[in-house]
Copies of this chain bind each other. A is one copy, B any other.
């Protein structure tokens, strides 16, 4: 039974994402779930060979790239993304059984979570004191331990701790979606499906004027759709960046392959994070190469009129 680490403790959205991956058949059978206390330590378990894979959140439609995950992927030996799944992120307000909304004087929450339900809290619990918890699951544990009356948490955490649901589907932004990825040590890239995502990191941009513009030109001239462009400081001073780029397509799509090779030659230091099937169709696939390749072969052979 493969061991799969996840950003825990038990009851986090990440565990729910792992469960969703299991149901979708990402693994051949059941897996052993191994919680880890941070995105970085989750991925480190993969690098150390303690687990065969790890599930971490990578991008939120509200907050953007999940920085600790991005940083952990970009640092250390190369890891590879092989699958993804998406969760609608809506919170569940939990309390001990018997407690009503009107009774709530204090509410525990992970800061990222309370930020996403601020308007709901202002409307329904304007006078409750907000207490900082270490994670969504920890907020529920705080309620179970009597440290707060209620928690901004997940349904899964409520079930595990036997808490009551005061409200569910709570989110200030509709359609708040978080994408989670399954990460392994480098392995053969999953087959091209026609609806794929490729991800790479420009660890170090070549130090020439217009270098970044040329990176984008490598994609634009080949008709490749960039679906994610994020920068993070490279931690060597203000003003230098690491760029995280996702594009539509697979390393076995000719256009993507040629763009990757061009970046390898000229852009600086490039980290390939993988090509894998998308959870939902995104963007425009790269242009087919077939007609142009057939034309080229005819030219090489001297077929007459073209």
Contact = CB atoms under 8 A, between A and B. Distances in A.
Of A67, A186, A226, A228, the most chain B CB neighbours within 10 A belong to A186
Interface stretch (A28-36, A92-100, A231-239): A231-239
Which label, helix, strand, loop or mixed, suits the secondary structure of the A interface?
Answer: mixed
A112 to B, nearest CB: 10
A216 B216 contact: yes
Interface string A170-200: 0001010101000001111100000000000
B303 A289 contact: no
Interface stretch (A1-9, A10-18, A154-162, A255-263): A255-263
A220 B213 contact: yes
A292 B263 CA distance: 9
B221 A218 contact: yes
Given A293-B261, A300-B252, A179 B238 contact: yes
B175 A282 contact: no
Contacts of A303: 186
Contact of A231 (B189, B230, B233): B230
A170 to B, nearest CB: 17
Nearest to A211: B220
Number of copies: 4
Contacts of A105: none
A212 B223 contact: no
A251 interface: yes
Interface residues of A, number: 78
A258 B62 CA distance: 33
A281 to B, nearest CB: 11
A289 B266 CA distance: 12
Contacts of A264: 291-292, 295-296
A285 interface: no
29 contacts: A59-B238, A60-B233, A61-B235, A62-B235, A64-B241, A77-B305, A78-B304, A80-B302, A132-B132, A175-B237, A177-B237, A185-B304, A186-B305, A212-B226, A212-B229, A213-B213, A213-B216, A213-B220, A223-B265, A228-B238, A229-B231, A251-B296, A251-B299, A251-B300, A261-B289, A261-B292, A261-B296, A265-B292, A272-B299
